[in-house]
């Protein structure tokens, strides 16, 4: 199951809907679009839960691909349906998501941001965490621990498969190394120092990659005269975690 969700402000009588390239999404027919729902406690968030596999057109519906090497995917757009039944389409290119092989271990939440703002790449993740043990190191493999913030976690990447996930995959395939990701959303140098002995030391890694930035240190929002001090504290903190 895929949960599509988007944020959209509406006027009384307006609703948000979804239409796309597979039968379950109406095959681009507005009459067959999927209405989204909202709630006063969650507005302006709108969402719909859709079982894409059960569309009656084979495993994934009509998923014609110009190149056979491409992963299966669907394209879609959100619609604003006004009180007078007129329809506003999103401007620009279509949104898209890859289709994962069934059975899914959990429902996938597709985070689509705001109506009318279409990202270049899709962002989605499992609604509930899926614990997948890291591959065991090969005979001569090393253990690598990544300790970072949201980018290292994989935020904004499909199924959180960001740079750390891809690095771990390549290191294991080529060299038999094992990568363990202990990153945390919102991590800064202070929280990383406090977590180091608890989450890194017990792993007894051969290599530790610290993937932080000044973004979570308040650097951008600080006054120019404060920034050198923030940078020094950040750099000193990196030395402390060594």
At residue 242, the 3 state secondary structure works out as coil
pLDDT of residue 63: 47
Radius of gyration over alpha carbons of the chain, in Å?
22
Give the chain's residues under pLDDT 70: 53-71, 241-242
Q: Round to whole Å and give the CA distance between 220 and 211.
A: 18
| DSSP-assigned letter for residue 111 | E
pLDDT in tens, 99-124: 888 788 889 999 999 999 999 999 99
- Give me the pLDDT at residue 54, please: 56
Contact criterion met (CB below 8 Å) for 89 and 73: no
Structural domains of the chain sorted by starting position, each given as residue range(s) with its CATH number in brackets: 2-126 (2.60.40.10), 143-240 (3.40.50.1110)
CA–CA separation, 153 and 146 (whole Å)? 9
What pLDDT does 241 receive?
52
**Three-state DSSP class for residue 194:** helix
Return the pLDDT at 140. Answer: 82
CB contact at 8 A, 199 and 182: yes
CB count, 10 Å around CB of 69?
Answer: 5
Q: Which has the closest alpha carbon to 73: 114, 32, 110?
A: 110
Q: Please, which residues bridge with residue 172 across strands?
A: none
Give the per-residue pLDDT at 71: 60
Q: Return the pLDDT at 139.
A: 75
**Residue 132: which residues within 8 A CB-CB, separation 6 or more?**
none
Full DSSP string of 174-210: HH--EEEE---TT--HHHHHHHIIIIIGGG--SEEEE
């Amino acid at each position: 199951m895929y949960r599509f969700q988007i944020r959209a402000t509406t006027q009384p009588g307006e609703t948000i809907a979804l239409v796309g390239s597979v039968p379950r999404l109406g095959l681009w027919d507005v009459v067959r679009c999927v209405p989204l729902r909202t709630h006063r406690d969650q507005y302006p968030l709108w969402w719909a839960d859709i079982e894409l596999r059960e569309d009656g057109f084979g495993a994934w519906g009509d998923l014609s691909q110009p190149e056979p090497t491409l992963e299966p995917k669907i394209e879609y757009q959100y619609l604003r349906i006004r009180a007078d039944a007129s329809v506003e389409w999103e401007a620009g290119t279509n949104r898209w998501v890859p289709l994962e092989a069934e059975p899914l271990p959990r429902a996938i939440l597709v985070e689509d941001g705001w109506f009318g703002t279409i990202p270049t790449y899709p962002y989605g993740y499992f609604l509930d965490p899926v614990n997948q043990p890291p591959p065991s190191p090969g005979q001569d493999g090393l253990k690598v621990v990544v300790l970072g913030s949201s980018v290292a976690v994989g935020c904004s990447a499909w199924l959180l498969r960001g740079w750390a996930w891809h690095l771990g995959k390549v290191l294991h395939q080529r060299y038999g190394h094992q990568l363990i990701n202990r990153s945390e959303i919102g991590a800064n140098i202070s929280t990383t120092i406090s977590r180091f002995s608890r989450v890194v030391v017990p792993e007894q890694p051969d290599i530790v990659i610290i993937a932080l930035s000044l973004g979570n240190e308040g650097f951008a929002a600080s006054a120019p005269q404060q920034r050198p001090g923030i940078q020094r504290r950040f750099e000193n903190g990196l030395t402390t975690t060594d």
